[in-house]
Structure 1
Amino acid sequence: MSRMRVACVLGQFVALLQISHSLLLGAFNIRTFGDTKASNVTLMNIISMIVHRYDIILIQERGGEEKEEEGKEERKEEERRGEEKEKEGEGKGEERRGEERRGEERRGERGEERRGEERRGTEHRNTHKKYDAQSLQRGRRGSPPFRYSFIVSEPLGRSSYKERYLFLYREDTVSVAKNYTYDDGCEPCGTDTFNREPFVVMFSSKHTAVENFVLIPQHTSPNSAVKEIDALYDVVVDVRHRWKTNDILLLGDFNAGCNYVTRSEWQQIRLFTDKSFHWLITDDEDTTVTHTICPYDRIVVTADMMGGVVPHSAAVYDYMVDLNLIHSLALAVSDHFPVEVNLIGRSFLSE
């Protein structure tokens, strides 16, 4: 066997070892995740299986109040504005139709609807309490159930429709060290930056090479995605000053692509132009369940945190394929796929 072949095999072996000892993070925008969806046994069963892939998962569009219908109207208005913006660009309409055709061809029909044991999930609203998560006890395939805790933000949003950032995490692998909600200005004065300001959380794990790391979640408003993604740079600066760390990951539905962030607008985003930040979910990815091909959901890490990430582990989790769901059922769960990344495990480094 040639030296090049040996090096290749060893490289693959090391990569497998890193993943086997790693901690998996995810971010999932569960469209209008309120009481209506939580009461649907079939959907909650699927969501539970998805959640159980992760050691930590950020859930977005968790309804802060019983305002789901208003939330749907807000989403429609944002989509309408996005469509108007798209029409302003030359050739954007034809380009998007081409993307939809390619997406439709790529997706096709992907299996029959999964039928299995159904269990209703339990909904919680309290901040940083034990999360017994009866609906999550199915566990990963072939594994025992895990006990999850959670930490959740206050309801966030400028209008009567509000959302919460919800982090679910495995008690046996991670814990919450500290948290705060970023102050982006005066909402009543109209000087705030984010529609849903980041709820910043520092996690601690004895199982990872980077023991303490910060997660900055963000679900942007589509019609102000460029402004909000750029402002995440200021959040990073604030975290560095406040907690004296640069082990930071930013994740969530940034609406970072297609008609919401055009090619020319990327130069207005400091998080992109500053090359010390690494965009792990690239422009070539598709994070949508619909027939569009758009990289809305992203994971971005600082230079220091990059050393704690398993190389090439960032990915889009296509639960429609993995769980063998028909398209309509997958879309009923959400119009987004989760994005994920592995953190290098400490046990791997010590072996």
Structure 2
Amino acid sequence: MSQPLAALLLLLAVNGALALRICSFNIRSFGETKRENQKVMDVIVKVIKRCDIILLMEIKDNANQICPSLMERLNGNSRATTYNCEISSRLGRKTYKEQYAFIYKEKLVTVKQNYHYHDVQDGDTDVFSREPFVVWFQSPQTAVKDFVIVPLHTTPEASVKEIDELVDVYEYLKEHWKAKNFIFMGDFNAGCSYVPKKAWSSIRLRTDSKFVWLIGDQEDTTVRTSTNCAYDRIVLTGQEIVNSVVPKSSSIFDFQKAYGLTEEEALEVSDHFPVEFKLQSAKVSTNRKRSSSSKKRTRARRT
């Protein structure tokens, strides 16, 4: 094996180990019943531990015990890795309410700010069933030092309009926070009959080339073998964060296969698989730049 190839393989291996894994998981009807099911909670905790930041959706917990229960399980007596939780207020129309929650490893990222987006544009009021609970993260160990995550769990029948409206959220936050790097993710219900092919041309988040979609239309983010829909998505904007994505790292995590569950057992956890991607570490990014500069100098000497 040549030295350059060996160095490249080593760099890719190190990149995978040091990269920041960011995940999104709709845990169907995550409330008291699921919280008291030890087998289900064991799977949920395993999924969370894989991720450095994870967005959880469809939390339905009037007692507000989901985050405390997860923190108890995740942290325990551990001092090496501790987790924290940012959770929204209960969101939704009328009596049906859900919460968004972000769970993250404290040694890797910190929360700079959070913001509950208010859907009050003139002539366009109350588009979102559950307005985004936006969190601005700082990440000193990654190539991109800060980024805003905008979560969304759409109402299926209004998915086209809600996904399109994320562009307005982006424009507002870009001005409000002067932020440059954005991640939009969640259960967009962005597939099958909810977003048919003919509807994509009316969704600005898709038609504007500055928004980069990491999970393709052909993917299946559902647990049931009877369905094949790319409901859950990750979308990025900002040149710095787009350039910081680890190549081929965006994927669906099949926890059913990973943990040897039957379909019935998996459905007790959720009817969605998590989606995820990785951001390069600052160290690997710096090494790549040095390697690139070194190659340029070598070529220059040869000529």
Q: CA deviation at 1:14?
A: 3.5
- 1: CA distance, partners of 2:276 / 2:268: 21
1:170–1:16 CA distance, 2 compared to 1 (3 A): same
1:271-311 C-alpha deviation (Å, 9 max, x unpaired): 00001111001112110001211100000001422012112
Q: CA deviation at 1:15?
A: 3.0
**TM value normalised by structure 2:** 0.87
Are residue 330 (structure 1) and residue 273 (structure 2) matched?
no
Q: CA deviation at 1:13?
A: 4.2
Specify which of 308, 313, 316 is matched with residue 252 of structure 2. Answer: 316
- 2: CA distance, partners of 1:267 / 1:145: 48
Which aligned pairs between 1:1-351 and structure 2 lie closer than 5 A?
A: 12-65=9-62, 123-124=66-67, 133-137=71-75, 146-185=81-120, 191-291=125-225, 292-304=227-239, 305-351=241-287
- 2: CA distance, partners of 1:264 / 1:9: 47
The amino acid across from 1:245 in the alignment is A
Q: CA deviation at 1:146?
A: 2.5
1:177-236 C-alpha deviation (Å, 9 max, x unpaired): 0011111128xx993110000011100111111111100000000000000000001111
Gaps of at least 5 residues in structure 2 are: 288-303
1:305-350 C-alpha deviation (Å, 9 max, x unpaired): 2012112211000001111111111111000000001011112123
- 2: CA distance, partners of 1:348 / 1:11: 11
Q: What secondary structure does 1:52 align onto?
A: helix
Partner of 1:114: none
User: Is the CA contact (8 Å cut-off) linking 1:28 and 1:58 kept in structure 2?
Assistant: yes
Q: What secondary structure does 2:267 align onto?
A: helix
1:248-278 C-alpha deviation (Å, 9 max, x unpaired): 0000000001110000000010000001111
- 2: CA distance, partners of 1:153 / 1:265: 30
Q: What secondary structure does 1:166 align onto?
A: strand
- 2: CA distance, partners of 1:332 / 1:8: 45
Q: CA deviation at 1:8?
A: 6.9
1:132–1:262 CA distance, 2 compared to 1 (3 A): closer
Q: CA deviation at 1:17?
A: 2.5
1:339–1:145 CA distance, 2 compared to 1 (3 A): farther
- 2: CA distance, partners of 1:146 / 1:181: 28
- 2: CA distance, partners of 1:200 / 1:308: 21
Q: CA deviation at 1:147?
A: 1.3
Gaps of at least 5 residues in structure 1 are: 67-121, 126-130
User: Is the CA contact (8 Å cut-off) linking 1:178 and 1:201 kept in structure 2?
Assistant: yes
- 2: CA distance, partners of 1:168 / 1:192: 27
State the Cα RMSD in Å. Answer: 2.4
- 2: CA distance, partners of 1:236 / 1:13: 37
Q: CA deviation at 1:123?
A: 2.8
Bigger relative contact order, structure 1 or 2, given CA contacts below 8 A and separation 6+? 1
The amino acid across from 1:258 in the alignment is C
Q: CA deviation at 1:159?
A: 2.2
1:329–1:144 CA distance, 2 compared to 1 (3 A): farther
**TM value normalised by structure 1:** 0.75
1:294–1:319 CA distance, 2 compared to 1 (3 A): same
Percent identity among equivalent residues? Answer: 42
The amino acid across from 1:58 in the alignment is L
User: Is the CA contact (8 Å cut-off) linking 1:132 and 1:147 kept in structure 2?
Assistant: no
User: Is the CA contact (8 Å cut-off) linking 2:27 and 2:56 kept in structure 1?
Assistant: yes
The amino acid across from 1:314 in the alignment is S
Q: CA deviation at 1:10?
A: 5.8
Partner of 2:296: none
